[in-house]
Structure 1
Amino acid sequence: MVRSLVDLLTTHATHHPDRTAYRFLVTGDCDGEIQEISYGRLAERSRAVAAWLQERGLTGSRAMLLYPPGLEFICGYLGCLAAGVVAVPAVPPQGRADNHRALTRLRRLIADADAKVILGGRQVIAALTQVAEHLPDPADVICVATDDLPDEAAASWREPDLTPDTVAFLQYTSGSTSAPRGVLVTHGNLLDNERVITERMGHTPDVVAEYGHEMFVSWLPVYHDMGLIGPVLNTLHLGATATLFSPLHFLQQPERWLTAISRYRPHTSGGPNFAYELCLKHAAPDLLDGLDLSSWKVAFNGAEPVRPATLRRFTDTFAPAGFRREALYPCYGLAEATLMVTGSAVHAPPTMLQAPPTGPHAGQADAAAVSSGRPGPDITVAVVDPERHEERPEGETGEIWVRGASVAKGYWRNALATRETFRATLAGHQGRFLRTGDLGFLCDGELFVTGRLKDLIVIDGRNHYPQDLELTAEMAHPALRPGCTAAFSVDTRAASDGGAGGERAVVVAEIAPDMAGEAEKIVDVVRSGIAEAHGLAVRDVVLVRPGSIPKTSSGKIQRHASRAAYLGGTLAVLEAPTHG
Structure 2
Amino acid sequence: MARTLVDLLTTHATHQPGRIAYRYLVTGDPDGEVQEISYARLATRSRAIAAWLQDRGLAGSRAMLLYPPGPEFVCAFLGCLAAGVVAVPGVPPQGRADNHRALTRMRRLIADADAKVVLGGREVVAALGTMADQLPQLAEITCLATEDVTDEAAASWREPDLTADSVAFLQYTSGSTSAPRGVVITHGNLLDNERVITERMGHTPDVIEEYGHELIVSWLPVYHDMGLVGPVLNTVHLGLTTTLFSPLHFLQRPDRWLRAVSRYRPHTSGGPNFAYELCLKHATPELVDDLDLGSWKVAFNGAEPVRAATLRRFTDTFAPAGFRREAFYPCYGLAEATVMVTGGTVGTPPVLLEPDGGAAEVADAAAVGCGRPGEGMTVVVADPERQRELPEGEIGEIWVSGTSVAKGYWRNALATRESFRATLPGHEGRFLRTGDLGFLRGGELFVTGRLKDLMVIDGRNHYPQDLELSAEMSHPALRPGCTAAFSVDGGMDSAVDGVVDGGLGGERPVLVAEVDPGAAGEGEGEGEKIIDLVRGAIGEAHGLSVYDVVLVHPGTIPKTSSGKIQRRATRAAYLDGTLSVVGAPAAG
1:353-402 residue CA offsets vs partner (Å, 9 max, x unmatched): 012559xxxxxxx9411000000001000101111101111111000000
Q: Contact (CA 8 Å) 2:69, 2:246: kept in 1 or not? A: yes
The answer for the alignment partner of 2:515 in structure 1 is 511
The answer for the alignment partner of 1:284 in structure 2 is 284
**2:539 and 2:566 mapped to 1: Cα distance?**
24
Q: Contact (CA 8 Å) 1:356, 1:368: kept in 2 or not? A: no
Q: Contact (CA 8 Å) 1:65, 1:90: kept in 2 or not? A: yes
1:118-172 residue CA offsets vs partner (Å, 9 max, x unmatched): 0001000000011121113434211100111000000000000000000000000
Confirm or deny that 1:549 pairs with 2:552.
no
The answer for the alignment partner of 2:92 in structure 1 is 92
One-letter code aligned to 1:484: C
The answer for the alignment partner of 1:130 in structure 2 is 130
Q: For 2:530, which of 500, 519, 522 is the aligned residue?
A: 522
| 1:471 to 1:219, Cα distance in 2 relative to 1, 3 A | farther
The SS at the match of 2:300 is: strand
One-letter code aligned to 1:286: E
Q: Report the RMSD for the aligned CA atoms in angstroms.
A: 2.1
Q: Contact (CA 8 Å) 2:47, 2:82: kept in 1 or not? A: yes
**1:54 and 1:66 mapped to 2: Cα distance?**
20
Q: Unpaired segments of 5 or more residues in structure 1?
A: 359-365, 494-501
The answer for the alignment partner of 2:256 in structure 1 is 256
**1:48 and 1:397 mapped to 2: Cα distance?**
51
Identity among equivalent positions (%) equals 79
1:307-351 residue CA offsets vs partner (Å, 9 max, x unmatched): 111111111111111100000000000000000000001000000
The answer for the alignment partner of 1:433 in structure 2 is 431
Please list, as runs of the form range in 1=range in 2, the aligned pairs for 1:294-373 lying within 5 A after superposition.
294-356=294-356, 367-373=365-371
One-letter code aligned to 1:104: T
**2:96 and 2:468 mapped to 1: Cα distance?**
27
Please list, as runs of the form range in 1=range in 2, the aligned pairs for 1:165-564 lying within 5 A after superposition.
165-174=165-174, 176-356=176-356, 367-459=365-457, 463-491=461-489, 503-517=507-521, 518-531=526-539, 534=542, 536-564=544-572
The answer for the alignment partner of 2:501 in structure 1 is none
**2:348 and 2:477 mapped to 1: Cα distance?**
55
**1:425 and 1:356 mapped to 2: Cα distance?**
31
Q: Contact (CA 8 Å) 1:519, 1:576: kept in 2 or not? A: no
1:258-301 residue CA offsets vs partner (Å, 9 max, x unmatched): 11000011110011111111001000111111011111100000
Moved more, 531-540 or 263-272: 531-540
| 1:340 to 1:255, Cα distance in 2 relative to 1, 3 A | same
1:59-92 residue CA offsets vs partner (Å, 9 max, x unmatched): 0000000011111000000000000000000001
The SS at the match of 2:195 is: helix
The SS at the match of 1:513 is: coil
- TM-score after normalising by structure 2: 0.92
One-letter code aligned to 1:374: R
Instruction: Give the deviation of 1:566 after TM superposition.
Output: 1.7
| 1:385 to 1:76, Cα distance in 2 relative to 1, 3 A | same
One-letter code aligned to 1:561: A
Confirm or deny that 1:567 pairs with 2:571.
no
1:393-423 residue CA offsets vs partner (Å, 9 max, x unmatched): 1111000000000000000000000000000
The SS at the match of 1:130 is: coil
| 1:213 to 1:335, Cα distance in 2 relative to 1, 3 A | same
The SS at the match of 2:270 is: strand
| 1:97 to 1:575, Cα distance in 2 relative to 1, 3 A | closer
Q: Unpaired segments of 5 or more residues in structure 2?
A: 359-363, 492-505
One-letter code aligned to 2:512: V
| 1:418 to 1:462, Cα distance in 2 relative to 1, 3 A | closer
**1:81 and 1:12 mapped to 2: Cα distance?**
16
Instruction: Give the deviation of 1:461 after TM superposition.
Output: 5.2
The SS at the match of 2:292 is: coil
Confirm or deny that 1:71 pairs with 2:71.
yes
One-letter code aligned to 1:181: R
**2:407 and 2:317 mapped to 1: Cα distance?**
43
Q: Contact (CA 8 Å) 1:178, 1:468: kept in 2 or not? A: no
- TM-score after normalising by structure 1: 0.93
1:38-61 residue CA offsets vs partner (Å, 9 max, x unmatched): 000000000000000001000000
The SS at the match of 2:261 is: helix
One-letter code aligned to 1:412: W
Moved more, 473-482 or 27-36: 473-482
1:484-517 residue CA offsets vs partner (Å, 9 max, x unmatched): 2212223467xxxxxxxx7443211111112121
1:452-494 residue CA offsets vs partner (Å, 9 max, x unmatched): 112333456555443343334334333223332212223467x
The answer for the alignment partner of 2:47 in structure 1 is 47
**1:468 and 1:275 mapped to 2: Cα distance?**
30
One-letter code aligned to 1:114: D
Please list, as runs of the form range in 1=range in 2, the aligned pairs for 1:11-26 lying within 5 A after superposition.
11-26=11-26
**1:61 and 1:243 mapped to 2: Cα distance?**
31
**1:577 and 1:259 mapped to 2: Cα distance?**
51
The SS at the match of 1:138 is: helix
The answer for the alignment partner of 1:498 in structure 2 is none
| 1:253 to 1:461, Cα distance in 2 relative to 1, 3 A | farther
| 1:175 to 1:269, Cα distance in 2 relative to 1, 3 A | farther
Moved more, 135-144 or 441-450: 135-144
| 1:251 to 1:536, Cα distance in 2 relative to 1, 3 A | farther
Aligned residues: 565
The SS at the match of 1:191 is: helix
**2:223 and 2:455 mapped to 1: Cα distance?**
20
**1:38 and 1:510 mapped to 2: Cα distance?**
60
Q: Contact (CA 8 Å) 1:103, 1:134: kept in 2 or not? A: yes
